[in-house]
Chains A and B, each alone.
Chain A
Amino acid sequence: MPEINVGAPVGAFVDWLTANFGPLFHAISTVMLVLLDAVLIVLTAPSPYIVILVLVALALLERKWGFGLFTLLAFLLILAMGLWVEAMQTLALVVVATLIAVAIGIPVGIWAARSRRVSNVVRPILDFMQTLPVFVYLIPAVFFFGIGAVPGVVATLVFAIPPAVRLTELGIRSVDKEVTEAAVAFGAKPRQMLREVQLPLAMPSIMAGVNQTLMLALSCVVIAGLVGSGGLGAVVVRGISTLDVGAGFEGGIAVVFLAIYLDRLTSALAKPRRRRTKARKAEAEPATADQPALVSS
């Protein structure tokens, strides 16, 4: 059995990329840092109490009082544990990573839904991205972008893009074929059909994808603490490396609070909205119009 060395060419390729595309990686790094800083400033410049009030207000938009109360208590606890800045750093990382993941994932998902060939190419790449252990690409990311938040975001993107692509494609493909035929039969252009029929009807599935992207991003930014991304990941890593179980647990519970908050907030968006007044009216007047008088007669 001849020995095949797969690792050596990959290593050489990474070296070659680092040597030749340094300026490109530097530019990406700069843009991401600007984004991260912008989000972080918005989250940390005001008093923590004001930020907590805004987060609670967002929770109350869904009219669930229990969720609002949970938000208030959870973020007050994070503040009391002295992890406020770290939690906001993590939140900024997650928000930026999710925005970029969605900005890449949804268009790719749409493309894959339109073409069977694209779908066949994209699917194994997504499998690869989802199952390759994070550390395997976390280290090359450090080669490209240096220590800090950026390699964390990049590694998070690799991990978090697949559900956005998959659920967008699934959502568009599962729109009733007759309904898309109807749009075509009335002369809609492909782009118009996408905008007016396919995307609105696929929206619950797409929002479920965004929700999954968010959750995966949150689970990954903790691992990204290993490469100096800061935030709650750093707290957890420090706790583990100094065998301080209590500190590690504090970081961990703060991550869980963030996760529950973001999950509830976005999964509410995934549900199709109904116009309540209309629905009530329809129930009040059972369908009597099945035998309406003919106007034309």
Chain B
Amino acid sequence: MTTQLRKAQTAAQNGSPAVEPAIQVTGLTKVYGPRGGSESKSGWFGGKKSEATKPKAAADEVSFSVAPGEFFVIMGLSGSGKSTVLRMLNRLVEPTSGELLIGGRDVATMPEGDLRELRNRKINMVFQHFALFPHRTVRENAAYALHVRNESAEKRAERADWALQTVGLGEWGDALPGELSGGMRQRVGLARALASDADILLMDEPFSALDPLIRRDMQDLLMTLQRDLRRTVVFVTHDLNEAMRMGDRIMIMRNGKVVQLGTAHEILNTPADDYVTEFISDVDRSRVLTAGTIMQAPLVTATEHDDPEDVLRRLSNVEGVGAYVLNDEGGIAGVTRVDLLAAAVGQQRTALGQLVTDEYRAVDADTPLADICALVGRNSVPLGVTDADGRLVGVVPRATLLAALATPGTADSAVVGARKDHDNA
């Protein structure tokens, strides 16, 4: 997560007018049943979901907003209404009531023609069972949105090939979907959504039909793509580990209602109710939480120009044994220790720059806790956390790491990474 994104998120959460949300949903409700208006206008789908005779809200007064570039996860078990909410965003399911703004435009009342245009250019979708067109080649599948908007053949082929390259299927353009494996088919599904340049990607449990190893690959692929392309993603899943791993923010749903909405860290540390608590007891915290989410500000840092005696006094105030020494750009120049400083004070040396060692370890803010366990507590200073430019942004002391790994309330279920992430698949 970049700081830029954090700002965008905070703005969205605070309702600040600085960044207009990509998606703004207020009180969205869907009631299936005789009086629920489930008869969709186009009427092209044979099967309707209305089996229950009494009206039941599949989505009940759901409100949230998604910032541009955010990876927003809707999480819930089957029947929780998560797919209904997702399908209302592009009106594959007609909302019964509520307000839906996308890029500031009112979508809920949009006429058919504008809606088709919006679906074609602004919001694309990736499906659970891939939903490729089996009689079209992989390239034609990837170019479908451009085909619908009548782009020239060269433009179509160019964009489709770019999208296929991006998902790692550059050489498979002439194949038919039936000739591809499951993981490759979903790559085509992803390429189809990327090729049209839509800002918003709706993903309906896109990886749940894949086996665990391929699923992991696809998650990595999507995260890499997201780092480069920065689309706004609304991602539906029933797998909390997947949700925590990928999502900037997570919305947990149950029986059509929103139970909790927050970052992975917030949900793990302050679950809204017993349902969420039970849910997160299954989570492998060491893989979900990252160094960036649990890091703290360093108690003492020094610059290369500081006076050793001053640094020694500051260190002894907090009973520390070492401190990071930063260069002028904020990067780590090295680590100084109490014994080095004390020796320097005795010898009247003043330049701190010569009193550093490289006895420290630093990790990227995105590193999961599982990968830093082995690094913490080895040196005189806590583990350093750096941003993309190598600047020190925080530290992870051993106690902080242990506290983060322990599940609040039920210490016995603290997870040590043995839990499989697909037992409910």
Contacts and interface: CB of A to CB of B under 8 A. Distances in A.
A161 B181 CA distance: 41
Contacts of B184: 287, 289-290
B46 A179 contact: no
- Give the interface size bracket for B toward A: 35 or more
A182 B131 contact: yes
B310 interface: no
Given A187-B119, A293-B168, A296-B228, A181 B45 contact: yes
B398 to A, nearest CB: 33
Contacts of B134: 179, 201
Interface of A is mostly: helix
A172 B128 CA distance: 21
A176 interface: yes
A275 B47 contact: no
A173 B130 CA distance: 19
B135 A278 contact: no
Contacts of B133: 179, 182-183, 196-197
Interface in B271-328: none
B56 interface: no
Interface in A133-189: 172-174, 176-189
A292 B168 contact: yes
A275 B168 contact: no
B124 A290 contact: no
Interface in A27-73: none
A296 B224 contact: yes
B64 interface: no
Nearest to B164: A295
B44 A193 contact: yes
Given A177-B47, A186-B145, A200-B135, A294 B42 contact: no
Given A187-B148, A290-B181, A295 B168 contact: yes
B169 A184 contact: no
A194 to B, nearest CB: 8
A282 interface: yes
A187 B145 contact: yes
A297 B125 CA distance: 24
A185 B43 contact: no
Nearest to B118: A187
A115 interface: yes
B170 A182 contact: no
A279 B119 CA distance: 33
A291 interface: yes
B228 A278 contact: no
B166 A181 contact: no
Nearest to A179: B131
Given A114-B43, A184-B119, A186-B120, A294 B224 contact: yes
B279 to A, nearest CB: 27
A227 interface: no
Contact of A184 (B44, B130, B149): B44
Top-7 shortest CB links A-B: A187-B120, A292-B168, A282-B179, A178-B131, A287-B181, A182-B131, A173-B46
25 contacts: A113-B46, A114-B44, A173-B46, A177-B46, A180-B44, A182-B125, A182-B132, A183-B133, A184-B42, A184-B92, A185-B124, A186-B125, A186-B144, A186-B192, A200-B135, A275-B176, A282-B175, A282-B179, A290-B184, A291-B217, A292-B168, A293-B168, A295-B166, A295-B168, A295-B170
Given A177-B46, A278-B175, A293-B168, 19 more contacts: A173-B46, A174-B46, A177-B47, A182-B132, A185-B90, A186-B145, A186-B148, A186-B196, A187-B117, A187-B145, A201-B134, A278-B174, A278-B179, A287-B180, A287-B184, A290-B183, A292-B169, A294-B168, A296-B224
